[in-house]
Structure formats: structure tokens, C-alpha cells
Amino acid sequence: MKKLYGIGTGPGDKELLTLKAVKEIELASVIFAPNNKGKNMALDTVEDFIHGKKIVLLDFSMGKVGKEDYINAAEIIYNEIPEEGTGAYLTIGDSMIYSTFIYIMKELEKKNIQVEIIPGIPSFVAGAAKSKTPLILKGESFLLCDEFNEEVLDKIDSICVLKTLENKKEILNNLENKDYVYRYMKRVTLENEEILVDRDQILKDRDYISFIFGRRERND
């Protein structure tokens, strides 16, 4: 039977790949990744382990990606993996967090193919480690989101907002109003990593590979 591994490649530093990810990438007959103008960050992370094997970059339509795109991607993946062979679908961070792989997996469930997920270190976990800031302490609540809603700030203690390109100003205003301390974590573990705390610098930045990490001020 054909098999596809959904592989989380972590935040970008290849030393943060799991042994299992490396093993299955090396064993796979074909590697899949979303096509970002001919490039892909997850692919860059694993480049040392591909050893010249076939790479299929999957195109998703510009703007809103829909069910049709996932059906097409699942079809391509199914056809590219040889009988009794394996493929590896690469995602940044972890495959089960804001990833196209989740929707493709749903379409693959309708086909005669086995799917297994190999977890990766998510961006916000790497960011907490890098800034030596706890994500959550005993008794606290933490929220991960990509669509910000200021009302939740009263109910939680710690928040990571991914994909912040469009509404950084609103997020920072709300965090300030609710006495949260924030950091803008950009390209965590990559060569051009930056941690910004200055409001104006954060607002000026346009890098998609970034997130905002906010924590409620504590006096203890």
C-alpha cells in the first residue's frame, strides 16, 4: 500500500528536525511541499536529507484556497507515490497547526493510501524557548490564534498570534490596553532571526514568518 508521511519540519533550524523526520525523508521516494513562488521554507530546512530525489511543489491558487485545490493536491500526491512506496509532505512547524496538509489529509482519507504524521516543533514553542519566556505557567491559560479577538484577552494570560501581517496595529493596541507585555518574534531559529519589542519597529516589519507573543504582566 502507498503511504504518505505528513512531516513537521520545525521552525527552520535543521538541528531541530526530529530523527524520525530525517529517517522518513531519506527513505521516501518523493517529497511534496506547497509551492511558494518556486520555493518553500520547509524544503530549505531539510535540503541536506533529500539527496537528489524527486520534489513535487504543489500549486495552490492565489487568494482563497478551496476544496478543489485540496482535491487536486491529493490526486497528484496519490499518483506520484509508487505502489508500496512512501512520500513525505513537508510543512513548517508542526503539520497539525494552520497547515494545508490538514485539508489534503482529509481528501487522502477517501483514497487507498495510508497517512502518518510526524510532529515538528511549532514556531511559537521555538519562540518561547528563544526568548526564554514561558508560554504558560501552572493555573494559567494560553491561546494560539491567527484571527485576533480582543475579548479573549480578559480570559487568558498568554497569547501567540500567528500570521499577523494584516492587523498588527490593532493587536498591539489591544495588548497594551490590557497590560500585556509583547514581543514580535521573526524568523525564529533562522539566520536572520529578530526579536522586536519596539512598537514602531514591529509595525514597520512586513515579514510573514513572524508572530506576536503577548503575556500578561506579572508582579511575582
Ligand X SMILES: C[S@@+](CC[C@H](N)C(=O)[O-])C[C@H]1O[C@@H](n2cnc3c(N)ncnc32)[C@H](O)[C@@H]1O
With the C-alpha atoms ordered 83, 30, 108, 115, is the resulting torsion angle positive or negative? positive
Q: Which CB atom, from 183 or from 186, has the smaller least distance to ligand X?
A: 186
Query: What residues does 171 pair with on adjacent strands?
Result: none
CB-based contacts of 136, cutoff 8 Å, min separation 6:
142, 157, 158
CB atoms within 10 A of CB 66: 11
| Closest distance of CB 60 from ligand X, Å | 12
Q: How far apart are CA 73 and CA 57, in angstroms?
A: 10
In 3D, which of 117, 162, 130 has the Cα closest to residue 8? 117
Q: Which CB atom, from 20 or from 111, has the smaller least distance to ligand X?
A: 20
Nearest residue to ligand X on Cβ basis = 93
| Closest distance of CB 135 from ligand X, Å | 13
Q: Which CB atom, from 4 or from 92, has the smaller least distance to ligand X?
A: 92
| Closest distance of CB 220 from ligand X, Å | 29
Q: Which CB atom, from 2 or from 159, has the smaller least distance to ligand X?
A: 159
Q: Which CB atom, from 97 or from 104, has the smaller least distance to ligand X?
A: 97
| Closest distance of CB 195 from ligand X, Å | 10
Residues contributing to the site for ligand X (CB under 6 A): 11-12, 91-94, 97-99, 122-123, 162-163, 185-190, 208-211
| Closest distance of CB 53 from ligand X, Å | 23
In the chain, what's the furthest Cα-to-Cα distance? Answer: 60
3-class SS shares of the chain: helix, strand, coil, % to 5 = 35, 25, 40
